[in-house]
Amino acid sequence: MSKTFRPYEPAQTFLMPASMRDWLPGDHLAYFISDVVDHLDLSAIMERYAGEERGYPPYHPAMMVKVLLYAYCIGVASSLKIEKRVCEGIA
């Protein structure tokens, strides 16, 4: 059995009426990065999780790559600052 990941559904709507896509303009950098990462071959990363069942389910690698690329593109390189942006920012 392969490793399972924490739920990752970018198109998921919240319990509130708004969707994530309603909060950002259509030409936002976050959408571009998301589209680019969706076309990347992440199989080398995914292979590291194959057959691994120990520990709490990790975050999906595609989501983590998107977070890191977006943070680097907007000039945020510190892991603590990235965490703060993830908690406080919509993008």
Distances in Å between the alpha carbon of 89 and those of 6, 9, 30, 41? 21, 18, 11, 27
Dig out the tokens for 58 from the structure: 């990790």
Express each pLDDT in 25-77 by its tens digit.
889 999 999 999 999 999 999 988 887 788 888 889 999 999 999 999 999 99
Express each pLDDT in 6-21 by its tens digit.
877 777 766 554 666 7
